[in-house]
Amino acid sequence: MHIVIMGCGRVGSTLAHILEDKGHSVAIIDQSPEAFRRLRGTFKGRRVIGMGFDRDVLIEAQIEKASAFVAVSSGDNSNIISARVARETFGVENVVARIYDSRRAEVYQRLGIPTVATVRWTAEQMLRRLLPDGAMPLWRDPTGEVKLAEVQTDPAWIGARVADLESAARTRVAFLNRLGEAVVPTGDTVIQDGDVVHVMARTADIDRITEALAERVQEGE
């Protein structure tokens, strides 16, 4: 594939190197010629000076044959405008923009522009480690109605079948993180010590599911 990247900072240059190593052709855009110093000497892709929302700059980067466009400059507005130009003017379907303001990210997600909200992502990663109790969302759909969440479980669930856990919480287990590896369970899969449970559920149900799994109630209690 040919991929156009706007922004030759640490993220943009790293993406350029990874994509080129995987055999893709890459063009990277930045308004500062100095930014291209982050690229290794063997980088074979195009270096284009300018703004990523400028039609002529995008054409020089061969946007017309691009399969994907990535906007990872330091400016939210520039990233979004560039992503919209790539999609709406040049018809690039696979477009992603980095956004620092999580409130904007929600809006653009609803407009159909996939975004990576770096501040929110970093904050949630930190919270998962600082506040182990409860469920922290790993993913949510653009409407915010469905989440993939990591759920803390009562140690009493160790040795129980996944089917029993699902029945108690009235939900489905998406996967287990077992010693760093993802396991897609069946109903007969047995919960082991150290397993981290991940559920996919409606946002409105997450608190109920968390409460149900936080303390296992045995039959007859």
**Are 104 and 80 in contact, with CB atoms under 8 Å apart?**
yes
First to last CA, the chain: 60
Q: Is 154 or 133 the better-scoring residue by pLDDT?
A: 154
Strand 196-202 with 146-151, pairing: antiparallel
What is the CB-side half-sphere exposure of residue 152 using CA atoms within 13 A? 12
**Can you say whether residue 165 is alpha, beta or left, with left for phi > 0 and alpha for psi between -120 and 50 degrees?**
alpha
Please report the DSSP string for 147-172 in residue order.
EEEEE---GGGTT-BHHHHHHHHTS-
Q: What are the helix (H) ranges across the chain?
A: 10-21, 55-60, 76-84, 102-110, 118-130, 162-169, 206-214
Q: Is the pTM of this model over 0.75?
A: no
pLDDT at res. 61: 96
Q: How far apart are CA 8 and CA 22, in angstroms?
A: 19
pLDDT at res. 114: 73
Percentage, residues of the chain above pLDDT 70: 85
For 46-94, write each residue's pLDDT tens digit.
999 999 999 999 999 999 999 999 999 988 889 999 999 999 999 998 8
